[in-house]
Amino acid sequence: MVEGPGCTLNGEKIRSKVKTGQEVKQVRGSLTNKNNSETNAFHGFLGCQYTGVETLGKELFMYFGSRALRLHFGMNG
């Protein structure tokens, strides 16, 4: 499991690899296939431009203009 400092490192890794302004071209994963693309919230990120990433404790936020993706690294402690 990722601890708070590990979450910060993940944010730094994203910052170094994803450039501001990059466009989301594809969304994939097991949760993205459960519903069709019209009702699946993940597909709402297609075409959005990445604007930044922030970490707060065990949470990581990726920003795409007015949209944000919140990731919580569930763990005890």
53 CB burial (10 A radius; 0-12, 13-18, 19+) = buried
Per-residue b or e along 42-51, where b marks 16 or more CB atoms closer than 10 Å to that residue's CB: beebeebebe
Residues with a catalytic annotation lie at: 2
